[in-house]
Amino acid sequence: MVTPVVPRIVAGRIAHCERCGVRARSVCASLPGNDLERLASIAVVRQCGPGEVIMMEGEPAAAYHNITSGFVRLHKSLPDGRDQVTGFARPGDFLGLASEDNYGVTATAIGAVQLCRFPRDRFRKLMHALPSLEDRLLAVASHELVIAQERMLLLGRKTARERVASFLLDLDSPCGETGAILLPMTRSDIADYLGLTIETVSRTLSAFRREGRIDLKVANQVQLIDRNGLRRIAEARA
Amino acid sequence: MVTPVVPRIVAGRIAHCERCGVRARSVCASLPGNDLERLASIAVVRQCGPGEVIMMEGEPAAAYHNITSGFVRLHKSLPDGRDQVTGFARPGDFLGLASEDNYGVTATAIGAVQLCRFPRDRFRKLMHALPSLEDRLLAVASHELVIAQERMLLLGRKTARERVASFLLDLDSPCGETGAILLPMTRSDIADYLGLTIETVSRTLSAFRREGRIDLKVANQVQLIDRNGLRRIAEARA
DNA sequence: CGACGCATTGATCGCGCTCAAATGTCGTGG
DNA sequence: CCACGACATTTGAGCGCGATCAATGCGTCG
C-alpha cells in the first residue's frame, strides 16, 4: 500500500494543521500559526468511503468542509434521476461555501476521502474574528463564480467535441506538463459533468485518439499529444 | 415620460445614497449612516444607454458596480459569435464580484441603465475597513454560486420545455403574484440565457399558451395561469 | 406608406441520445 | 493458472429533439 503524503489520522480526532499537506493550497493558508490553532480547535477529521455522501442537497448546512485527501463529486439531481455534476473537488478545496441555510449541491466521495469538518456556527464566528480568513473565502467564492460562468458557457453553447477538449485541458494544468492525466472519475461522472452521455464522451475520446490528439493507455489515463489542436477545438477557433 | 423612483442624477456626480431607492436591496443595506457616507464618497454615478458595455470579459477589473436602475445582461461569448447569458442583473444587484484581476463576463445594458461605479482599489480598501460590507459580499457571492449551480443543472440536463418553464417561474416571484410578468429582455436574450435558440423559445412559449398554462398579451408580457403545471414541468416531476 | 427589427410559424437537417451488443478490466474462487 | 461474473467502457444502428434555413406576421418609426 502506498503511503499517503498526509499522515493517516483517526476519524474524530483534532486536525494537526502544521503537518497538513494541503495547507498551502487551502483556505488555511491565509492564517498565521496561532490563528491556525484556533481553526484547528473547531475542526474534526472525517473519513469517507467511495460513494459516501458528505453533504446532501437541500439539507440544513450544518458544516463546512476542507478536503485533505481524495476526490469529491459535487452534483445536483432531477427527480427522474438525471444528474448534473457541478464540479469536482480536490485536496485543499473548500466545500459548503455554496450554501445559504441549506446545501445547494450534494457532495459524494469518489474514492476514499479525508476531510476537516467545521461546524457552521463556530466557523462563522471564527471567520468574523479572523478577517484574513473571510478575505480568503471571498476570494475563493469569487473564483468559483468565474469557474461557474465558464461552465455555463460550456453547458449552454459548446458542442460535444468542444466540451471534451475543454475538460481535458482543464485537467491538464494542475497535473503538470509531463506524463499522463489520471482521471479519478468514471465516464459517467465525466458525462454528468459535461452535460453529455457516457457514450458520447467515449466516442469523442476515441475520435481524439484516432486523430492523434490524445493517447488512451488505459481508460482512466489520458496522455495529451496535440494540446494546441485541443485548444483550438475547445475555444471554437478556426 | 414616467418619473423614475430613483431621482435622475447627472453622470459623474457623487451618489446620494440616503435617497437611493435600491439601498434596501443592495450591498449598501449592510451599512449604517456614517459608513454609507464613506462608500458614497468613492462612488461615481454612471449612465448607460441600450447596448452599452459596462464591463468587458477579459479586461482588467477596474471597478465594481451597483445597479440603481435598469436591467443588465451578463454574458460570455465564443469567437464564432455563440453567446451564453450567465445572468440578468436588476436594480440593487452588484456587478464585478465574479472577478479576479480581469472580468470574467461582459455586462451589457439592456435598456437605459444607471449605476454606481466603485474603483476597485478604493472599494477593496473600504471593504477591509467595513466588516459588515465584506460579510454582505460573501453572502452575495455564496448566493450567486447557488444560482449558478441551479443553472448548470438547467443547461446540462433539462429539456427545452423544462428550461422555459423554469425561466418563467424564476421571474415570477420577484414580480409578485398578481399581474403579468414584464420581460425586459428580447427572445434572443432569453435564448442565450437558456442555451436554446430564439425559435425554440418562441415555439415553447406558444405551446404553453396553447396548453393554457400562460397568456401572451404582447411578446414581452407573460401572464402565468397554471403555475403548478409549469412547476411540474420545470422540476421534471410526474 | 415602406423599411426595419423583432417575434412567430413552417420545413428539414443533424448532433447527440437511446437502445443494443461487444469488448475490456478486475477481483474472486476453484 | 484459468474460469467466471460483475461492472465499466467501447462500438454500432437508428431515432428524436432542438438547430437551421426560410417565410410570414406585426409593431414602430422615418
Give strand letter and number of the nucleotide nearest B219 (CA to C1'). C7
- Angle subtended at Cα A21 by Cα A20 and Cα A23, rounded to the nearest 5 degrees: 70
Tell if A186 CB is < 7 Å from nucleic strand D: yes
pLDDT along chain A (238 residues), means of 10: 38 72 91 91 93 96 96 97 97 91 96 95 96 95 97 98 97 68 96 98 98 95 96 93
Q: Identify the pLDDT of residue A1.
A: 34
Q: Identify the pLDDT of residue A3.
A: 32
pLDDT, tens digit, 9 for 90 and up, residues B48-68 = 999 999 999 999 999 999 999
* Buried-exposed string B100-135: b where 16+ CB fall within 10 A, e elsewhere: eeebbbbbbbbeebbbbbbeeeebeebbeebeebbb
Cell triple for A192: 454528468
Q: Identify the pLDDT of residue B98.
A: 81
Mutate to test the interface with B, among A149, A200, A232, A237 (most CBs of B within 10 A): A149
Give strand letter and number of the nucleotide nearest B194 (CA to C1'). D18
Q: Do domains A8-154 and A158-234 have the same CATH topology?
A: no
SS3 B58: coil
B172 in contact with A, Cβ within 8 Å: no
Mark yes or no for CB contact B141/A146 under 8 Å: no
pLDDT, tens digit, 9 for 90 and up, residues B76-96 = 999 999 999 999 999 999 999
Quickly tell me which residue has 423614475 as its cell.
B4
Dist CA B96 CA B65 (whole Å): 6
Mark yes or no for CB contact A142/B83 under 8 Å: no
Torsion of CA B93, B96, B97, B102, to 10 degrees: 170
- Range with the poorest average pLDDT among A172-176, B140-144, B183-187: A172-176
What's the fold here for domain B158-234? Answer: Arc Repressor Mutant, subunit A (1.10.10)
B129 in contact with A, Cβ within 8 Å: no
Dist CA A213 CA B65 (whole Å): 43
Residue type present at position B15: A
Cell triple for B162: 423544462
pLDDT, tens digit, 9 for 90 and up, residues B6-49 = 434 445 566 678 888 899 999 999 888 899 999 999 999 999 99
CB atoms within 10 A of CB B9: 18
pLDDT, tens digit, 9 for 90 and up, residues B188-211 = 999 999 999 999 999 999 999 999
Task: Name every chain B residue with its beta carbon within 8 A of the beta carbon of A192.
Answer: 156
The whole-angstrom distance between B196's CA and the closest CA on chain A is 8
B156 in contact with A, Cβ within 8 Å: yes
SS3 B208: helix
Task: Name every chain B residue with its beta carbon within 8 A of the beta carbon of A55.
Answer: none
Nearest to A73 by CA among A65, A59, A84: A84
Phi, psi of B59 (to 5 degrees): -80, 155
SS3 B56: coil
Look up the CATH number of domain B8-154: 2.60.120.10
Q: Identify the pLDDT of residue B48.
A: 94
Q: Identify the pLDDT of residue B3.
A: 34
Dist CA B205 CA B222 (whole Å): 9
Q: Identify the pLDDT of residue A156.
A: 98
Q: Phi/psi class of residue A114: alpha, beta or left (left: φ > 0; alpha: ψ in -120 to 50)?
A: beta
Task: Name every chain B residue with its beta carbon within 8 A of the beta carbon of A78.
Answer: 153, 157-158, 235-236
Q: What percent of chain B has pLDDT over 90?
A: 82
Tell if A202 CB is < 7 Å from nucleic strand D: yes
Cell triple for B49: 444607454
Mark yes or no for CB contact B84/A145 under 8 Å: no
Map out the domains of chain A as residue ranges. Answer: 8-154, 158-234
Strands A106-109 and A72-77: antiparallel
Question: Are B90 and B34 within 8 A, CB to CB?
Answer: no
Q: What percent of chain B has pLDDT over 70?
A: 91
Mutate to test the interface with A, among B80, B128, B149 (most CBs of A within 10 A): B149
